[in-house]
Amino acid sequence: MSKQYFVRLAALLLVSCSVWSGIAQADPRTDGAALFDHRYNHDHYYPPRGRYVRELPRGYTASRFNGSPYYFHGGVWYRGSGPRYMVVRPPVGISIGVLPPFYTTVYFGGVPYYYADDTYYRWYPERHEYVVTEPPVAEGTVAASSAVPASNDLYIYPKNSQSEQQQATDRYECHVWAKQQTGFDPTQPLGGVTESQSSSKRADYRRAEGACLEARGYTVK
């Protein structure tokens, strides 16, 4: 075999070793697959707790608990860790103004809890907030309902091949915009309006959300 052949072979082996070295040194907290949450037929993917990200997702909301800042987006909670942010379990007692775009309603002893990413929320009307609670202890049969925000009645098709993450971001941001435009919030009982207004306001909300999604490149039905 020629000397040139061995030079090429050595170069190929060197590149291969570099690639495998990079894989071996990859931080498992920034790599790895998302986890599938199937409890109560929730059926949604979330990043594992302990994973680091360099930037927070667009459209996140900030909340403070015992003086410490936390960040929330799409059912996932983050906390600052040096120059990065780590996916964390939210502390019991921290609150948010709106539920995740995807959640499952479960009943314990007739009391509704809202579930997403191994986290339970309760609605506190006097505070107008959803509060993270301890996992409830079942008394009798636990019934997982199919109750989801009214916005989930919309079926959307990503005409521009938007990723699942981009679709979730767009739906959340369009939800926020539609809520601001109509005063109707599907994550609150009766949408946060009077019972007599609920039906018409819900229709207004869905039209506004649909218009927003269409403007972002989706087919909405």
Does residue 77 surpass a pLDDT of 80?
yes
Cβ neighbour number for residue 151 with a 10 Å cutoff: 21
Cβ partners under 8 Å of residue 26, min gap 6:
none
DSSP state of 185: -
Mean pLDDT over each residue of the chain, to the nearest integer: 77
Question: How far is the C-alpha of 131 from the C-alpha of 122, rounded, in Å?
Answer: 5
CA 58 vs. chain centroid, Å, equals: 12
Residue 17 has a pLDDT of: 40
DSSP state of 142: -
pLDDT tens column, 52-61: 999 999 889 9
Residue 52 has a pLDDT of: 93
Residue 110 has a pLDDT of: 63
User: For residue 114, what is the enclosing H or E element?
Assistant: strand 111-116
Where along the chain do its domains lie? 35-144, 150-220
pLDDT tens column, 187-218: 676 778 887 888 888 889 889 989 999 999 99
Residue 157 has a pLDDT of: 84
